[in-house]
Structure 1
Amino acid sequence: MGRPKQFSYVITAMVVIGRSKESREKSRRFLQAVYDGGGKARTSEIRQRSGLSRSDIKYRYESLEEKGLISIAYDEEGVAGPNESAQKIAILTDLACEEIENKGLLQGGHYQPENATRDVDELAAQVDTLTKRVRAQEEQIEQLQRYITETVYRNISMLRWSIARLEIAVETDDRPLDSLDPSERISALKQRVKEFEVDHVTK
């Protein structure tokens, strides 16, 4: 019972920088470019050092800030004219420095959160498998319920109806069955029931 608690602690203690291998690699390149600038870098410097596209850089400004790995400032002094906007500046946070220097954030596959991500993916796959099995069981239960409702109950009702008709046939005949020879009772009973069209008994 102790393993789930330990697993929960590992997941919450680590920062996952991307869902896919490609996404994690782009985030590393972004952070590496900022790290190489002494923990601070303008957008133009990040793009030059990392080779990332504008859209990739824009996305990582948002995602890495949300994860607490960078803070964002603006280079107001670098604005040359009134129609020019200030460049963003990415600044590594203390959390990012801790992850880079002590957990190998920039060291490819050695970064521990990847292992955590794989564990989460495996658990998600297991949950999907179990969910599919549960749904399959539910479908089988529904089919069984339909069979019972549509077939078994219907046959029981028809059998009860046939028994009722048989009772009527026996009670309304003037000649009691007890007066017949035992060898003739079955054929006589079938004949009486046949007259009342009780198919389930006469077949």
Structure 2
Amino acid sequence: MARYKGPKSKIARRFNEPIFGASKALSKKAYPPGQHGRGRRRKQSEYAIQLMEKQKAKYTYGVLEKQFANLFDKASRKKGITGEVLLQLLESRLDNVVFRLGIAPTRRAARQLVGHKHILVNGEILNIPSYQVKESDVIGVREKSKSLEAITDSLSSNTASKYSWLEFDKSSMSGKFVNIPQREDIPENINEQLIVELYSK
């Protein structure tokens, strides 16, 4: 299962955002990584700014280059504003929904839970992190997995109530994907228009 395995703190420092969750590196070293991280940086080109935004979206959602390009292609063929549709497709990925429901503390952890067959979709085991969750789908924890420490610890600080497009029942450890989120509801600090401009070149 392809995924990014490189250093996480460097990526977070590059974008100055907690891409992979809370990081002490951001407060200790509030400047970009590398030999010239503290030095002056020349003004970035338009292309560099657009590329950075795409990279940020990729790392945030844990998607590799080819997957991201395929998602953009799919978004561009759907009705609606391409950038918004792209973010909606990313938000609808099973690993992201598991993370948003609070079943896992990070998207990376959610991806692992899905891959190890701990997650059910409409009562069936599904181990494909990129699966596109649909409206009214019910996502839950497999009965045998409900006592897993990683899941119970994460659910103790459940955050699903923060998201208007999700419902979660703590007693059954299952949630419902009520509807596709609108752009204003998605909290990620991503300028999707720059990504559209990059792919339009």
TM-score class, shorter-chain normalisation, is under 0.3
- Greater helix proportion: 1
Bigger-Rg structure (1/2): 1
Higher relative contact order by CA 8 Å / sep ≥ 6: 1 or 2? 2
| TM-score (ref. length: structure 2) | 0.25
